[in-house]
């Protein structure tokens, strides 16, 4: 892309953001009265024989301070689109949120289990629209922007459109600095690196997607990591995700997000579902580093003025053993957990797809046998010398390393066979 094209693209994005800011500066009093009355005729109830074209889903937990505004803005969007729709609240409130929602025409569902992700999944299963919108009911997202997101979805022929707060505008006080400059960008980089998401704001909660896309994704999580899971599953299923900038507003009501615990849930979920990055790659790097150190120490090759000796050989042996063990965990995790992002390195693929118990156990026994023969020779030498102290040699360390890895291979092969039946 040329510098001129880049400047034009940036200018266009800036103009769009400013337009969104101008459009969002609206008198909210009419939303408190119920929004655009014209949209009420387009809202369908659960018993309607007509199928809605659009489903707008909001998880609610004590959102009485902002639910009227959110529903009002959603009604404005429905009126602008002129299409039949339904508004679903997945509610676990103890305040007046559900009553307000029903008064304004929303369908209220009460999940039978707690959790942000479960609330969404519970409502998604009842949603009937060809297009599904998701967004928090705390006034942080402007539901009047639904027509723009839907148009972008159709123009790009995409499966999911995400509203990007980081590429758009974040109003003062809408997002803590820790989230804006550290948490969200860092978690987004994780997702892009591990899953090739290619997004700028992975944890934006304002999204629209097709029903087919939802049915393609196998969503299972119940907590805040649901936002990450959707992108991970979409990537694994080769769904097309695009973004558009949005304005992120200050919320109404009390904050329900726990920055550190919820952030950790995202990181943990991403790592557990990418055993290649969690186990296989670190294991391979440690193992190769250990073998390299052992090789340099054994041959006595000098690196400048430095020559590796016995202590380096011991360190190399430990790195090799640890690397082998961590790599084995990657294989076990791939087989037992069916992760979203399976390892693609040739070693893990070979072991998980075609390596048999017999081949693995045989290789382990051979490695164990070679090391044991040398160890037996050492024992014989020790006995015949009248149990005198033997000189420690680099060959003996190699033999002991082979014994350990050989035994690990034998028992790992049996374990893999047991869990992979």
CATH number at residue 262: 3.90.550.10
**Exposure on the CB side of residue 166, measured as CA atoms within 13 A:** 22
Residue 259 confidence (pLDDT): 65
Same domain, 263 and 320: no
Q: What's the domain count of the chain? A: 2
Residue 258 confidence (pLDDT): 65
Assess contact for 86 and 146: CB atoms under 8 A. Answer: no
Question: Cβ–Cβ contacts within 10 Å for residue 292, how many?
Answer: 13
Same domain, 265 and 280: no
Same domain, 109 and 165: yes
**Cα(50)–Cα(84) distance, rounded to whole angstroms?**
9
- Please identify every stretch of the chain with a pLDDT value under 70, giving residue numbers as ranges: 1-38, 253-259, 421
Residue 383 confidence (pLDDT): 92
Same domain, 35 and 118: yes
Same domain, 147 and 12: yes
Q: Which residues face 55 on adjacent strands?
A: 86, 132
Same domain, 335 and 240: no
Same domain, 73 and 148: yes
Same domain, 196 and 59: yes
Range of the domain at 364: 275-419
As a 3-state breakdown, the chain gives helix, strand, coil percent values, each rounded to 5, of: 55, 10, 30
Residue 7 confidence (pLDDT): 47
**Cα(331)–Cα(216) distance, rounded to whole angstroms?**
26
Domain finish residue from 221, 247, 272: 272
Same domain, 279 and 131: no
Residue 396 corresponds to which tokens in the numbers above?
Answer: 């003996």
Same domain, 105 and 233: yes
Supply the pTM of this predicted model: 0.76
Domain finish residue from 226, 241, 272: 272
Same domain, 230 and 299: no
**Cα(44)–Cα(129) distance, rounded to whole angstroms?**
11
Of 308, 378, 337, 64, nearest to 220 (Cα)?
337
**Cα(418)–Cα(412) distance, rounded to whole angstroms?**
10
Residue 196 confidence (pLDDT): 83
**What string of DSSP letters covers 304-335?**
TTEE--HHHHHHHHHHHHHHHHHHHHHHHHHH
Same domain, 241 and 143: yes
Residue 335 confidence (pLDDT): 83
Domain finish residue from 272, 298, 320: 272
């Amino acid at each position: 892309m040329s510098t001129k094209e880049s400047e034009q693209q940036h200018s266009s994005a800036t103009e769009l953001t400013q337009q969104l800011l101008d459009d969002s500066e609206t008198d909210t009093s009419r939303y408190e009265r119920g929004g655009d009355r014209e949209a009420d005729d387009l809202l369908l109830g659960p018993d309607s024989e007509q199928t809605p074209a659009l489903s707008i889903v909001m998880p609610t937990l004590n959102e009485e301070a902002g639910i009227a505004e959110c529903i009002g803005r959603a009604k404005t969007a429905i009126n602008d689109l002129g299409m039949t729709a339904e508004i679903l609240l997945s509610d676990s409130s103890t305040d007046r949120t559900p009553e307000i929602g029903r008064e304004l025409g929303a369908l209220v569902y009460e999940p039978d289990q707690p959790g942000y992700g479960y609330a969404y999944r519970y409502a998604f299963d009842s949603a009937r629209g060809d297009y599904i919108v998701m967004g928090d009911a705390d006034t942080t997202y402007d539901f009047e922007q639904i027509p723009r997101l839907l148009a972008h979805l159709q123009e790009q022929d995409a499966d999911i459109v995400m509203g990007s707060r980081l590429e758009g505008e974040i109003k003062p006080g809408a997002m803590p600095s820790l989230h804006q400059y550290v948490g969200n960008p860092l978690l987004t980089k994780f997702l892009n690196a591990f899953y090739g998401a290619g997004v700028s704001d992975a944890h934006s909660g304002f999204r629209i997607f097709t029903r087919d896309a939802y049915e393609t994704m196998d969503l299972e999580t119940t907590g805040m990591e649901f936002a990450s899971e959707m992108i991970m599953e979409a990537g694994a299923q080769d769904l097309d995700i695009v973004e558009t900038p949005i304005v992120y507003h200050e919320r109404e009501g009390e904050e329900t997000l726990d920055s550190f615990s919820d952030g950790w849930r995202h990181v943990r979920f991403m790592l557990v579902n990418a055993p290649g990055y969690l186990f296989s790659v670190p294991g391979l790097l440690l193992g190769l580093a250990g073998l390299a150190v052992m090789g340099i120490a054994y041959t006595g090759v000098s690196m400048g003025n430095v020559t590796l000796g016995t202590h380096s050989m011991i360190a190399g042996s430990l790195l090799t053993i640890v690397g082998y063990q961590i790599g084995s965990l990657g294989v076990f995790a791939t087989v037992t957990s069916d992760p979203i992002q399976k390892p693609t390195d040739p070693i893990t693929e070979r072991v998980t797809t075609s390596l048999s118990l017999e081949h693995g156990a045989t290789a382990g026994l051979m490695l164990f046998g070679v090391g044991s023969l040398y160890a037996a020779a050492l024992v014989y030498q020790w006995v015949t010398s009248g149990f005198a102290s033997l000189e420690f040699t680099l060959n003996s360390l190699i033999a002991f390393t082979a014994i350990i890895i050989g035994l690990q291979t034998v028992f790992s092969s049996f374990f893999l066979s047991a869990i992979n039946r």
